[in-house]
A and B are shown apart, each in its own frame.
Chain A
Amino acid sequence: MYKEVLRSITGIEIWPLVSLAIFFAFFVGLLLWVWLADKDYIDEMSHLPMDSDQSSTPNQLNHDTLK
């Protein structure tokens, strides 16, 4: 049944391809960016919640900066 329904929509074949392309492009871009991201910047970002709190040790390293 669903095949007839699908066939009757013009250009339906392109839908999955379009969605796949969008996903692929976005995630490749995202992964590349994360891979290349500046360490100091990442470190600064991950410490944002700690900054407002005096009790935290300022130079704690996390996984991103340990490498």
Chain B
Amino acid sequence: MELEKFSYDNKIVKYFAIATVVFGIVGMLVGLTAAIQLFYPIFNFDLQYTTFGRIRPLHTNAVIFAFVGNAMFAGVYYSLQRLLKARMLSDALSWIHFWGWQLIIVAAAITLPLGFTSSKEYAELEWPIDIAIALIWVVFGINMIGTILKRRERHMYVAIWFYIATFVTVAVLHIFNSFAWPVSLFKSYSAFAGVQDALVQWWYGHNAVAFFLTTPFLGLMYYYLPKAANRPVYSYKLSIIHFWSLIFIYIWAGPHHLLYTSLPNWAQSLGVVFSIMLLAPSWGGMLNGLLTLRGAWDRVREDAVLKFMVVAVTAYGMSTFEGPMLSLKNVNAIAHFTDWIIAHVHIGGLGWNGFLTFGMLYWMIPRIYGTKLFSDKLANFHFWIGTLGIIFYALPLYWAGITQSLMWKQFTEDGFLQYPNFLETVTQIVPMYMLRAVGGLLYIIGVLVMAYNLVKTAYAGKLIANEPAEAPALEKREIVGGHWHAVLERKPIIFTSLALVAILIGGVIEFVPAFLIKSNVPTIASVKPYTPLELHGRDIYIREGCNTCHSQMVRPFREETERYGEYSKAGEFVYDHPFLWGSKRTGPDLHRVGAKYPDSWHFNHMLDPTSMSPGSIMPPYPWLFEQQVDADLTPAMISALRHVGVPYEEGFEDQANALMSKQAALIATNLKKDGIEIAPEAEIIALIAYLQRLGTDIKVKGVANQNVSSTQEGGN
């Protein structure tokens, strides 16, 4: 057979690797800033661009899409070419992919601090950037599948299946979750409302973890771990079962993020069952990775690459054990809304994604530069300080989460809340926040050391931009027969379609009933669409990222109805585009905050939270008192919301601003009685209007404070 000569593109790998390290450092520093803001609110800098509510989404987007995303691309571009014995389909597509992705990251880094956000977690970017993401993602997919089609290796190794599943699923998730109606260039309203929006968002959110942070990295594990250990994977058969069961089951588990919320019970149960089932394939994969090292454990002692990979796979095992446990309703009742979840995701993020990335870079960079790693000692130092960092990060947060949750739930002998003031439960755990920041700092020091080590390595060698290779061309003759799965591995397009079907079945079975419910959600007659002023207030709430720290979902527990009021009903959210249930309570729930305090309380509280709640860690929002509501936008907001199904009458947009001035004047007069002078156009007025409206629709007939018996029914 004739050998064909070709070359592997290492330059694109180098660029993605550089982007990985640079954005890794940036994203983690932003994370450290956010961590410090939680115990020293002064580090919010009293600037709207740097408050926690805007910094936290910046951190999550940077580490997920910039750090982990670029690491994924670097790893895929290196391994895919070698597994297929072919250069990438097109250098042009590779570079469009690279620069397109970096531009998206820059766009995110600019728009998120400016407050352009959809409020949906890990999907905060506004619609023009969403479209750009979809386009660049498709470029990546074409480049990858095109390479598979022109391969010189007949069979596709299991790593490539994981890459294919990643591409297909992320495309579906991203497009579906981004359905929105634009109001302006950087503002849109989700096409879904309330319960449905929550279901779609957490179907996306959970599977972003599954198919952006897990499946591509499992593909990388199946390539780089055998490479680094210099022995084949423990069981290839197990890897086949791992792949199909994982992608089949993962897609169903999203609703476990919404336990005890207003989501219909059947959907919650579906999420729980599939989350528990996930344990089996996840641990199958973890054991497959660890057992690959059987007989090579002596090398783990010396080789920093293997050390990183062992801890990465162990962290994968830990967080995929913890995940199903957190999906049990009784455990979730304790952990949800607390720092336990933050600890959980960082075991996955710092341990699994971070350490696998580091191991991969330490292995790959010397190879593409044709040299040895500059310093094994520094790599080992990085390993130990990084591991210490993870421990210092996670343990205090587990402690904090459980402590705070138990304090929320504690009743006195007389049946009153032991800690009726939410703030008490926060100040209790502030020392833990400090320790967590120390852990984060240690981890970043390790990354900086790695950056130095890798740069030194690069300078010591020379980039082999086009690495020569040769392999026989794939024979064109049709091979008939073989096992059906073996046949499948020769047909990438059919394989891709099957993977798509596997993930769509889960989505369809989850969504179809949920969307049929639309006409059946028990509507509550007293729930009405928001007034124009409240809408502006809601947009400010979204812009400032209030939902980052405050939930709007009172769960049907006695300690929550005692603390906040009547538990939340599905019918209350029918006009919420997007839903704002939140996922973390750094501050108290706000769903029943309406009419709880006088307007002046909110006014003073937003100006200086510590004036109303001494010791509060909430940042002040002075700019809300200077900036004015953009009344020109009101008609567009109304008509966009009408497009997604809010029943504003035709022509309402023309009277909306007059109505708005009237309501604003009322609040301004109200404040004046308390001796506060403020222009009715100020943003704070709109925000107060929204906060005072929250959760009051069902209070109209005075049902709020007689809920003990109905609560217990709801809880069971």
Task: Give A contacts to B, CB under 8 Å.
Answer: 1-2, 4-6, 8-9, 12, 15, 18-19, 22-23, 26-27, 30-31, 33-34, 36-38, 41-42, 44-50, 52-53, 55-57, 60, 62-64
Contact = CB atoms under 8 A, between A and B. Distances in A.
A4 B571 CA distance: 14
B291 interface: yes
A49 B159 CA distance: 9
A62 B236 contact: yes
A43 to B, nearest CB: 8
B367 to A, nearest CB: 10
B516 A52 contact: no
B244 A48 contact: no
B712 interface: no
Given A19-B509, A31-B241, A52-B85, A26 B484 contact: no
B233 to A, nearest CB: 6
B223 A49 contact: yes
Contact of A34 (B79, B157, B241, B509): B241
B157 A49 contact: yes
Most buried by A among B226, B244, B513, B520: B226
B520 A62 contact: no
A62 B227 contact: no
B266 interface: yes
Given A33-B484, A37-B485, A49-B83, A64 B223 contact: no
B469 interface: yes
Contacts, number: 110
14 contacts: A5-B520, A8-B520, A33-B483, A33-B485, A38-B483, A41-B482, A46-B236, A49-B157, A49-B159, A49-B226, A50-B232, A60-B231, A63-B235, A64-B237
A30 B486 CA distance: 12
B380 interface: no
Given A23-B248, A62-B235, A52 B223 contact: no
Interface SS majority for chain B: helix
B505 interface: yes
A64 B153 CA distance: 22
B289 to A, nearest CB: 13
A5 B234 CA distance: 48
A33 B486 CA distance: 10
Most buried by B among A8, A12, A27, A52: A52
A43 B79 CA distance: 19
A37 B82 CA distance: 25
Contacts of B222: 49
Contact of A63 (B227, B234, B244, B482): B234
B83 A45 contact: no
A61 B361 CA distance: 27
A9 B232 contact: no
Nearest to B485: A33
Interface residues of B, number: 47
B265 interface: yes
Interface in B206-250: 222-223, 226-227, 230-238, 240-241, 244-245, 248
Contact of A55 (B230, B237, B245, B248): B230
A56 to B, nearest CB: 6
B85 A15 contact: no
B520 A48 contact: no
Contact of A26 (B223, B234, B244): B244
A64 B235 contact: yes
Contacts of A44: 155
Given A1-B570, A56-B230, 9 more contacts: A23-B248, A27-B244, A41-B482, A41-B486, A46-B232, A46-B233, A63-B238, A64-B236, A64-B237
B227 A53 contact: yes
B237 A52 contact: no
Contacts of A2: 264-266
B522 interface: yes
B517 interface: yes
Contacts of B159: 49
Contacts of B516: 9
B151 to A, nearest CB: 11
Contacts of B226: 49-50
Contacts of B158: 45
A27 B284 CA distance: 15
Nearest to B571: A1
B83 A9 contact: no
Interface in B234-281: 234-238, 240-241, 244-245, 248, 264-266
B236 A60 contact: no
Nearest to B239: A46
A50 B230 CA distance: 7
Contacts of A12: 513
Given A49-B157, A62-B232, A1 B83 contact: no
A19 B510 CA distance: 11
Contacts of B238: 63
Contacts of B83: 48-49, 52
Contacts of A55: 230
Contacts of A64: 235-237
Most buried by A among B226, B232, B244: B232
A34 B222 CA distance: 18
A4 B505 CA distance: 25
Given A26-B248, A48-B153, A62 B234 contact: yes
Given A45-B155, A52-B82, A5 B264 contact: yes
Contacts of B236: 42, 45-46, 62, 64
A42 B488 CA distance: 14
A29 to B, nearest CB: 8
The 5 residue pairs across chains A and B that have the minimum distance between CB atoms: A46-B236, A46-B232, A48-B157, A63-B235, A2-B265
A50 B241 CA distance: 21
B605 to A, nearest CB: 35
A67 B231 CA distance: 17
Nearest to B489: A45
A16 to B, nearest CB: 9
Most buried by B among A1, A18, A31, A46: A46
A37 B487 CA distance: 12
Contacts of A23: 248
Nearest to B244: A30
Interface string B55-91: 0000000000000000000000001001101000000
Contacts of A9: 513, 516-517, 520
Most buried by B among A9, A37, A38, A62: A62
